[in-house]
Amino acid sequence: MATLLKVATRTLRGTFWQTRSLTTTTPLSIKEIHEKRESNALVYEGVDVVSPRLDKMLKPACDSTFCPECTLGLDIKHTDVLILSQYVRSDGCMLPRRITKLCHRQQKKMGTLVTMAQKAGLMPNLAPSWSKKDPKMRFGWRKFNKYFLESTIKY
């Protein structure tokens, strides 16, 4: 009786899910925008890509919502560019909270740390295309080395 019931529910659930997958919209995936020029026509194409970070994810730490300080107890400095660069777009812009999934306080702090690292010239390759890239080429006093104290971050 019990087995009969189980088989019945399984088939029922199978049919249910099959019906759910029949949607009119395409499934979500990460896209990259490619720009191509084909004889006087500029073609923009959204290509589906696998996330480059997929196999590098720190699994045990990132199962639930993850903040470096809240979950791991990390004390991140502005010199930890390998961590900070993950929260930054290729032009050096801080990613929004919707994407970083950080708590509010961490988001603000991370933004400040990124700014510090950029001012100290530690992430010159993550910068807008028009920037000089090399921090030694900056104007006036900005060309000299400077560092920041994390204790000056207010939140």
Partner 1 sequence: MSIAKRVQQWATFARTWHIYDCTWQNPFESASLVKTHLMGLHKPIYHPMNDCGDHVVLINTKEIALPGDEWVKRVYFHHTGYPGGASWTLAWQLHEKDPTMVMKKAVYNSMAGNLQRRHTMQRLHLFHDDQVPQDILANVTNQIRTPRTVPQRLDHIDKETLENFPAIMDYPKDYVLR
Say how far apart CA 69 and CA 71 lie, in whole Å: 6
Q: Is 29 in the site for partner 1 (CB under 8 A)?
A: yes
Per-residue mark of binding to partner 1, 78-117 (x: CB under 8 A) = -x-xxx-xxx-xxx------xxxx----------------
Answer for which of 7, 61, 70, 137 binds partner 1 (CB under 8 A) is 61
Window 118-147: residues binding partner 1 (CB under 8 A): 120-126, 140-141, 144-147
Say how far apart CA 103 and CA 71 lie, in whole Å: 11
Closer CB to partner 1, 8 or 144, in the complex: 144
CA distances from 70 to 35, 52, 76, 116 (A): 40, 25, 11, 21
Q: Tokens 């995936």: give the residue.
A: 29
Q: What are 20's two structure tokens?
A: 């759910």
Smallest separation, CB 55 to partner 1 (Å): 9
Answer for which of 11, 12, 46, 63 binds partner 1 (CB under 8 A) is 46
Closer CB to partner 1, 1 or 50, in the complex: 50
Closer CB to partner 1, 16 or 141, in the complex: 141
Q: Tokens 């708590």: give the residue.
A: 103
Contact between 142 and 131 (Cβ < 8 Å)? no
Q: Is the dihedral of CA 59, 65, 71, 72 positive or negative?
A: positive
- Which helix (H) or strand (E) element contains residue 6? helix 2-21
Query: Applying CB under 8 A, which residues contact partner 1?
Result: 28-33, 46, 49, 51, 53-54, 56-58, 61-62, 66, 68, 79, 81-83, 85-87, 89-91, 98-101, 120-126, 140-141, 144-149, 152
